Structure 1
Amino acid sequence: MSNAEDRLKFIKPLEPELVLEPPVSDDWFHEIKYDGFRTQLIRDWAGVRAFTKNGHDWSKRYWPIVTAAEQLKAKSFILDGETIAPEPDGRPNFHAMHSRMTWNAELLAFVAFDILYLDGEDLRPRPAIERKEILWDLVKPAEGIIQYSQHVLGGGAEFYEAVERLGVEGMVSKRQGSSYRSGPTDIWVKTKCWEFGEFDLLGIKREPGKETVGLMARDGKYAGPATIALTKQMRERLMARVRKGQPPPNTPQAARGPEVEWLKKSIKARVRTLRGEPKLRHATLQGLVEE
């Protein structure tokens, strides 16, 4: 009788490197970056389990996905993908994830983008593009809950423009000939789209030899720094408004310090930042929104 010892084990996922521009050479293929929770589906003799990117077993939360994966025609597999909350047009709605996991798990979907193991063979040494073919053969009959992540060969810049227009979080580019390696690597890279939003400028941090940054908040919560990319005129206008204010109570220690000048009253500012991040990332302050 088999026991727990010979069950397939969770494999630490590959983590793509964040870049600001997609690779343009033809030895890459590109996929949409789905905004959800990274998930690994493992099937062995005892059935299908679903794991988070840190290896926690979430099979109960993702039960409809587990049930759908049981229908795939293979004895054993390990799939790498993303659990999403799709809208009717297919776009993922990250904000709906928690409520669906709690109340409507059947409205979740699993988008498979890689296969690491199939029926006794470790596929990780195989080229990424070959693994996609094997994955397609396994997943193509599935409908709805288990989906296949389509890809495009080459044309990174055009793909990025299309992704930008779709309004999704970004894209992931993978070297066609690369094997699968756990942990951080640059054989996969993710390029996020930019978004613009209004934030409250709380203060200005100036340090010798460094770029001037604005310390930003949203809905009363500290959101992070944004480089100030303003004209000389706007900068002077801004500096004229810097008066001895106080940092808001929830500002982290790291953002304080003698080099910060706090505004007496915050100013609305337009900020460009990477889409789909909890805090500001690679952000720049684009201009002030006049009251």
Structure 2
Amino acid sequence: MAKTLRKKSVPATLPEPMPRRVDPCVATLVDKPPKGSEWAFEVKWDGYRLAVHVEPGEVKAITRSGYDWTKKFGLIAAEARELGHASMILDGEAVVLDDQGRSDFGLLQRAVGKKPSLHEPSEIIFYAFDLLYLDGQDLRMHPLSERRRLLEPIVAGRTGAIRFSEEVHAEGAEFFQIACEMGLEGIIAKRRDRPYHSGRRPEWLKIKCVRRDTFAIVGYEPSTVPGAIGRLLLGANKGGDLVYVGGCGTGWSNQESVALRELLNAIPADKPAVALKRKGAFFARPLLVADVEYRAWTQDGKLRHPSFKGVREMAGPSEVYEIKRDA
């Protein structure tokens, strides 16, 4: 007598709880882009890292440090409600673009700040580049390629407050060169085959564009360390005059700092060579120039993330960086 085979019931997949907060995966800084088809490349956005949490009846915008900034990014939160899913976590960057389409951190700070600004909160764009949770499924252990496959139809093609951070299909070195020529901050490289892990990780890399120019030293601010310099005060040429372009406070040893202060103390100025009032500052005649590495220019004409690389006597005014009149 034949036995009757009974079908085994397949248990339904239970929904996984949505994390209240996910510490972001942070890229490791390297000098040059990696090689290999396992790497995907994106623009490095210069803004605030956000995780956008969507749940029934609630949307939150959580910063990298865990602060709830939903009110600051109200339009992003409102648009996240319209993406067609009951629950999800988007990982991305909130930015404001300049008139050449480049993200500018200074513009973003003013747009979310309390002071009057030419840039409104409505100009803030959230570029989504990862999907960590979707409709009851925690995606963090899935490879990046799968997470991006699920993310793309949700946000790709949108032109509002939420947009898709596109992968750039090019060799890393070629893309990096083009990004720097365009004045971008840099690029990001990510392993397509790796899961999402919080913290600084080797499977996400950042390669930054660095500029290096020469600026007149117009003075310094003293350090709290006796005899040393806290910040060098720097100037650039503009229309035949020196203009202040900010201070540089890194890049030297304590011994170099003391030596720099002695050099500048020997060439005091009767009045500042630039239009600048700074309590406690020492102003020197602009006879020395500093080689400075920096990332970019801020909207108000200051060096961003400058680092001192060397000093020498000025051979002539043409040695000093020239700011174009329309800059």
TM-score with structure 1 setting the length? 0.75
1:268 aligns with 2:289: yes
3-state SS of 1:67 partner: helix
CA drift of 1:223 comes to 1.7
> How has the CA–CA distance of structure 1 residues 220 and 137 changed in structure 2, closer, same or farther, with 3 Å as cutoff?
closer
Query: Is contact 1:216-1:226 (8 Å) kept?
Result: no
* Offset of residue 91 of structure 1: 1.8
Match of 1:77 in 2: 88
- Is residue 134 from structure 1 mapped to residue 155 from structure 2 by the alignment? no
| Aligned residue among 17, 37, 51 for 1:26 | 37
Q: Percent identity?
A: 28
Matched-pair contact (CA < 8 Å) for 1:43–1:76: yes
Q: 1:280 aligned to 306, 320, 325, which one?
A: 306
Q: Which residue of 1 aligns with 2:320?
A: none
Q: Equivalent residue for 2:250?
A: 225
Matched, 1:119 2:124: no
1:146-204 CA distance string (max 9 Å, x none): 1111113561100101111111111111111111111111110111001234445469x
> After the TM superposition, which segments of 4 or more aligned residues of structure 1 sit over 6 Å from their partners?
248-251
Matches within 5 A, 1:128-277: 128-153=144-169, 155-201=171-217, 216-218=232-234, 219=244, 222-226=247-251, 242=263, 265=285, 267-275=288-296
Change (3 A) 1:23 1:227: farther
CA deviations over 1:37-69 (Å, ceiling 9, x no partner):
111100012221111111111111110111111
Counterpart CA distance in 1 for 2:152 and 2:85 is 13
Contact 2:295 2:305 in 1 (8 A): no
Q: 1:268 to 1:124 in 2, by over 3 A?
A: same
| Aligned partner letter, 1:223 | C
Higher normalized contact order (CA 8 Å, seq sep 6+, divided by chain length): 1
Q: Find the aligned partners of 2:168 and 2:245 in 1 and give their Cα distance.
A: 42
TM-score for the superposition, normalised by structure 2: 0.68
Instruction: Give the greater-gyration-radius structure (CA).
Output: 2
More strand by share: 1
SS of 1:159's equivalent in the other structure is: helix
Residue 121 to residue 268, structure 1, CA distance change in 2 (3 Å): same
- Confirm or deny: 8 A CA contact 1:196 1:272 kept in the other structure: yes
The range that moved more, 37-46 or 139-148, is: 139-148
Is the Cα contact below 8 Å between 2:46 and 2:105 reproduced in 1? yes
Relative distance call for 1:268 and 1:20 in structure 2 (3 A) is same
Question: Match for 1:61 among 72, 84, 88?
Answer: 72
